[in-house]
Chain A
Amino acid sequence: DAKTTQPNSMESNEEEPVHLPCNHSTISGTDYIHWYRQLPSQGPEYVIHGLTSNVNNRMASLAIAEDRKSSTLILHRATLRDAAVYYCILSLGGGADGLTFGKGTHLIIQP
């Protein structure tokens, strides 16, 4: 499976935007980029996914580099409830597979 690299942790202030980077230099042409997050003591939660174009939903935006070797999850206005571990995951679109979770980025939000 193609691998992703994320910073271990990031810190941000409440009500400010947060940009969470992910490198995936070995991504293949059919790999989707998924982001999940896991709040303390909860199951993972789907955030957003994309293939080539930037994507927006009510939770976040996903900016994908033109060469697809990296992507950035953008939380436009972080709240304390966004404190979680964020996982960037590649998976083959069109088929259902087990997800490969790395260590993710531990996002700390300061009030």
Chain B
Amino acid sequence: NAGVMQNPRHLVRRRGQEARLRCSPMKGHSHVYWYRQLPEEGLKFMVYLQKENIIDESGMPKERFSAEFPKEGPSILRIQQVVRGDSAAYFCASSPPEVSGPTDTQYFGPGTRLTVL
């Protein structure tokens, strides 16, 4: 059973470009979460999604950031017009549907390390 997959693992962008980060949850998981870890800092929650729905985006920056989890395919975190301050590790996590038990145990992917030049 494959774990949470994220790609790319490393992404380099120049200021002003767009960054697209992809996350495939574990098989059977319908909840996806995105977190950001700035250098030398802790992880910060960004957004929580279920299929085709954003449930909680309280941690998302108000501008340039968006997330989706379509009916088919991976979840996408999109950062438009990147700036140097967006350089960070972005982690995706998934959890199973509520009927399977406590839903707050999250399984994390290896992360995408974004570098903005």
Contacts and interface: CB of A to CB of B under 8 A. Distances in A.
A54 to B, nearest CB: 17
Interface residues of B, number: 29
Contacts of A44: 43, 91, 93, 106, 108
Contact of B104 (A45, A95, A104): A95
Contact of A97 (B42, B44, B56, B107): B56
Overall SS of chain A's interface: loop
Given A96-B31, A97-B48, A49 B105 contact: yes
Interface stretch (A15-23, A60-68, A69-77, A86-94): A86-94
Contact of B102 (A87, A93, A99): A93
Contacts of A91: 104
Of the four ranges (under 10, 10 to 19, 20 to 34, 35 or more), the interface on chain A belongs to: 20 to 34
For the complex of A and B, 8 pairs with smallest distance between CB atoms: A98-B45, A43-B108, A96-B103, A101-B43, A91-B104, A44-B108, A101-B42, A43-B91
B49 to A, nearest CB: 10
Interface of B: 4, 31, 33, 35, 42-48, 55-56, 58-59, 91, 93, 95, 98, 102-111
A3 interface: no
6 contacts: A32-B102, A38-B43, A42-B110, A97-B104, A98-B47, A101-B44
A23 B110 CA distance: 29
Contact of B42 (A94, A98, A102): A102
Nearest to B103: A96
B104 A92 contact: yes
B104 A43 contact: no
Contacts of A93: 102, 104
B103 A99 contact: no
Which interface residue of B44, B55, B106 has the most chain A CB atoms within 10 A? B106
